[in-house]
Amino acid sequence: MSSPLVTSGTAVVADPAGAPDRPDALRRAQENALVELLDIPAVADELGDRFRAAGHTLYLVGGSVRDALLRRGGADLDFTTDARPERILGIVAGWADATWDTGIEFGTVGVRRADETLEITTFRADAYDRVGRKPLVRFGDSLEGDLVRRDFTVNAMAVEVHTAPGDRRFVDPYGGLAALAAGVLDTPASPQESFADDPLRMLRAARFVSQLGFTPAERVTSAMSAMAGELARITRERVQAEFSKLLLGAHPRRGIELLVDTGLAEYVVPEVPAMRLAIDEHMQHKDVYTHSLVVLEQAIDREEPGKPDLVLRLAALLHDVGKPPTRRKEPDGRVSFHHHEVVGAKMVRKRLRDLRYPKHVVDDVSQLVYLHLRFHGYGKGEWTDSAVRRYVADAGPLLERLHKLVRSDCTTRNRRRAAALQRSYDSLEDRIAELRKQEELDAIRPDLDGNAIMAILGIPPGPQVGRAYKHLLALRMERGPLSREDAETELRAWAADNL
């Protein structure tokens, strides 16, 4: 990967990928020139001036620097400083619109200034007991010591902030800028040490692969493979949060493949690697695992731009998890997976509950998995209107997602078969649209009901009431709603000519 670092016109200002081979002075000059072009919010420099006036330094750090270099917008701004938490509170007093100290035991003070949310953390030099993932908090005295404890080198860069022109200092002791330019994900310390401190970082690696398109360094993937079991130390809620971010990234297939290849998937969604054992019944040249990844990519292509859909992506990835336990070899040599959608829906419900997904996500994903094969009973359009209505009713508010999932589930290389399946689904969608339109018309009622017709005309129940009703319905369809007075006038005029 080649990262879209800050540019001036069409030329890249710095070429960090070559940084290790350049003299230190030249490298620092180019880095600092790059930093001067960063779009750092004015509020950051303004805050930096307050810290400098108080005798402290303040650095924009971590993902905030990474995203600024990549020209990616970020919600919050993260800072680190040599000031202790109580001192931080004193420096921002009278400047911040609000502060909160819920993280102060970890050295973090939250600040709000106008529309900006900031977090300022004292340099840390933590130790971990390597039983859980909570550090034994210890404040540090150096920026480099703080940066080395961070997860990845691309998140271990810092920029000193203040308004003095040409005086910003870029700090990158672990080669994060070069890694960013090369699209490489590596750790400041050894990956074994980093992942032992916090095993969740292994999932974060897969998440960054998905979100940013990075490629993990070989030593990172080796450590992930060797230490996958350490993920059992992490709560399911945190595992779910990282997995969801991975799925919602720009390249989720790459992230999932990393989880499967390193064995981490066994501790997150073991049903996914299990699909490598099953053979797709339509195209036996590829396994169900590969098929599911393709379906995921095709479902993403059908999303609204800029609106990633977690429910649809989960359903696309997991729609065939019921195949391995239902796999049977038929007498004619073909492989079948009878009722895998029913079994799969139950498996999905169990897995998503285990990962602590909200009930509505569990229900929606499992229902999509349950329904994803229903269309294949449609044949060449032989469904009755009632069968089409049941399809719509069973999908309910999930109907549009079901359309996308079913269309994405076609991964055959046989172009004629693929085109036939798409035409067949086009036909089903047309039937649904026609029925909806008709049923909207059917739901329209005339302005007078049967009782009112009988009372106004003084007639008993019978065919004449039905004829009058149809006349009023036709008027309603043609002219829209009528007032009670107009409806009665029209009814009496019709009766004078027809009764």
pLDDT in tens, 78-115: 999 999 999 999 999 999 999 998 888 889 999 999 88
| 376 has pLDDT over 70 | yes
Query: Are residues 96 and 60 both part of a single domain?
Result: yes
| 36, HSE (Cβ side, Cα atoms, 13 Å) | 13
Say whether both 350 and 476 belong to one domain. no
Neighbours of 278 (CB within 10 A): 23
Q: Is the pLDDT of residue 377 over 80?
A: no
Per-residue pLDDT, averaged over 248-269, amounts to 98
Q: Are residues 178 and 226 in the same domain?
A: no
Q: Which pLDDT tens digit goes with each residue over 318-352? A: 999 999 999 888 888 787 888 999 999 999 999 99
In one letter, which amino acid is 302?
R
> What's the pLDDT score for residue 7?
44
Whether 86 and 133 map to the same domain: the answer is yes
Does the structure show a pLDDT above 50 at 205?
A: yes
Residue 382 has pLDDT above 60, yes or no: yes
Q: Answer yes or no: do 154 and 249 share one domain.
A: no
Same domain (yes/no): 13, 32: yes
Q: Report pTM.
A: 0.80
Measured over the CA atoms of residue 318, residue 296, residue 281 and residue 419, the dihedral's sign is positive
* Residue 283 lies inside a defined structural domain of this protein: no
- Predicted confidence (pLDDT) at residue 469 exceeds the cutoff of 90: yes
Other Cβ atoms within 10 Å of 396 Cβ, number: 10
Range of the domain at 361: 301-440
> Are residues 119 and 235 part of one domain?
no
Give me the number of domains the chain comprises: 4
Element counts in the chain: helices (H) and strands (E):
23, 15
Mean predicted confidence (pLDDT) in 24-39: 69
DSSP annotation of 116: E
- Give every CB contact of residue 318 below 8 A, 6+ residues apart in sequence: 269, 271, 272, 292, 344, 347, 348, 351, 365, 369
Window from 59-73, 139-153, 182-196, 213-227 with minimum mean pLDDT: 59-73
Q: Are residues 152 and 43 in the same domain?
A: yes
Q: Domain for residue 117, yes or no? A: yes
Higher per-residue pLDDT: 399 or 25: 399
User: Could you tell me if 47 and 136 lie in one domain?
Assistant: yes
For the cut 60, the answer to whether the pLDDT of residue 185 exceeds it is yes
* Together in a domain, 326 and 461: no
Dihedral angle computed from the Cα positions of residues 93, 96, 99 and 103, in that order, rounded to the nearest 10 degrees:
-90
Whether residue 492 sits in one domain with residue 463: yes
| 276 in a structural domain | no
Whether the CB-CB separation of 352 and 247 falls below 8 Å is answered with no
Residue 58 lies in a domain: yes
Query: What pLDDT, on a 0 to 100 scale, did the predictor assign at position 269?
Result: 98
pLDDT of 304 reads 94
DSSP state of 250: S
Q: Which of 138, 166, 189 is the last residue of a domain?
A: 189
Q: Indicate if 354 and 491 belong to the same structural domain.
A: no
Dihedral (CA of 463, 465, 470, 471) sign: positive
Share of the chain above pLDDT 90, in %: 63
